[in-house]
């Protein structure tokens, strides 16, 4: 991660002093270079697997071209809290993970770590079982939305979120993790991250 919005998210989370509240003019559109406001949209560059900042004109362009076969995809705003989804069969070694459907029908699972997000291909049958128990998962937009799950120590937090929310969570883990077990700060910060998620359409 050396460029694009994802790199900036992780960098800024690692050093709050360089965050956008301190440098309000730092964000620029990764497509045209114009200033991007604080509430700007993001695009996923599927070719490079990077999240990019987009100014309003560029984001409007990709709303109009949502059905095109280009490798840029506008990341939606939708956040939906779900009833608990049975995830034991998905084979996640930890209770904090996100699952991203892909355009070829496969699903990639990720869990955050101090070094970033570890990922692997999910067993298709296991994913079909999860969808059968929660049909709303069928509505996930490929590549740009995810099922985000936190079942650590009895928590039951299951959300449909945009993919950039998942990368923000990865940044929190990278910023707060200390030692072999994570230390005393990482889980309160993860709890805060989930507490601040709010349901949102589109």
Give dist(CA 49, CA 72) in Å, integer: 10
For residue 132, tell me if it sits in a domain: yes
Lowest mean pLDDT among 65-74, 106-115, 166-175: 65-74
Residues 86 and 180 in one domain: yes
200 belongs to a structural domain: no
CA–CA separation, 172 vs 175, rounded Å?
A: 5
- The 8-class DSSP code of residue 122 comes to P
The answer to whether 160 and 136 are in contact (CB under 8 A) is yes
Question: 181 and 96 in one domain?
Answer: yes
Q: Which of 57, 74, 91 is the last residue of a domain?
A: 74
Q: Which pLDDT band, with edges at 50, 70 and 90, does 122 fall under? A: very high
**Residue 163's CB: how many other CB atoms inside 10 A?**
23
In a domain, 202, yes or no: no
Residue with tokens 């599927």: 46
> Looking at the chain, how many residues does it have?
202
- For residues 62 and 98, membership in a common domain is answered with no
Pairing, β 145-150 against β 157-162: antiparallel
Instruction: Say if residue 94 is in the same domain as residue 189.
Output: yes
User: Which is nearest to 98 in space by CA: 154, 170, 152, 45?
Assistant: 170
Q: How many CB atoms lie within 10 A of CB 74?
A: 22
Predicted confidence (pLDDT) at residue 15 exceeds the cutoff of 70: no
Buried b (16+ CB within 10 A) or exposed e, 168-194: bbbbbbbbbbeeeeeeeebbeebeebe
Instruction: Please check whether residues 59 and 90 belong to one and the same domain.
Output: no
Two tokens, residue 55: 């100014």
Pairing of strands 72-74, 41-45: antiparallel
The residue segments making up the domain with residue 118 are 80-195
User: Are 90 and 145 found together in one domain?
Assistant: yes
Inside any domain, residue 91: yes
**Is the per-residue pLDDT at 126 higher than 70?**
yes
Residues 121 and 169: beta-carbon distance below 8 Å: no
The values of phi and psi at residue 32, to 5°, are -115, -10
Tell me, yes or no, whether 175 and 137 share the same domain. Answer: yes
* Residue 111 three-state SS: strand
Query: Number of structural domains, the chain?
Result: 2
Which of 74, 99, 122 terminates a domain? The answer is 74
How many Cα atoms within 13 Å fall on the side-chain side of residue 78?
A: 17
Last residue of a domain, one of 18, 39, 74: 74
pLDDT digits (tens, 9 = 90+) for 83-105: 999 888 888 777 899 999 999 99
Whole-model pTM: value is 0.81
Do 183 and 99 belong together in one domain? yes
| Residue 184 shares a structural domain with residue 157 | yes
Over residues 128-142, the mean pLDDT reads 95
pLDDT at 112 over 80: yes
Residue 132 token pair: 């059968």
CA distances from 37 to 2, 52, 53 (A): 22, 14, 10
Q: Are residues 92 and 31 in the same domain?
A: no
Do 91 and 189 belong to one domain? yes
């Amino acid at each position: 991660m050396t460029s694009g919005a994802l790199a900036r998210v992780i960098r800024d989370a690692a050093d709050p002093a360089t965050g956008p509240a301190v440098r309000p003019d730092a964000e620029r559109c990764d497509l045209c270079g114009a200033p991007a406001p604080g509430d700007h949209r993001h695009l996923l560059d599927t070719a490079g697997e990077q999240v990019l900042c987009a100014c309003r004109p560029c984001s409007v362009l990709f709303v109009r071209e949502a059905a095109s076969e280009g490798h840029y995809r506008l990341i939606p705003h939708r956040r939906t809290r779900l009833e608990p989804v049975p995830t034991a069969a998905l084979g996640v070694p930890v209770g904090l993970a996100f699952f991203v459907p892909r355009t070829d029908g496969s699903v990639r699972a990720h869990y955050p770590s101090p070094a970033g997000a570890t990922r692997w291909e999910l067993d298709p049958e296991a994913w079909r079982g999860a969808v059968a128990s929660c049909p709303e998962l069928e509505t996930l937009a490929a590549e740009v939305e995810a099922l985000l799950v936190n079942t650590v120590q009895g928590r039951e937090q299951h959300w449909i979120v945009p993919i950039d929310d998942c990368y923000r969570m990865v940044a929190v883990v990278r910023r707060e993790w200390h030692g072999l077990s994570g230390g005393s700060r990482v889980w309160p910060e993860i709890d805060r991250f989930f507490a601040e998620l709010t349901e949102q359409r589109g």
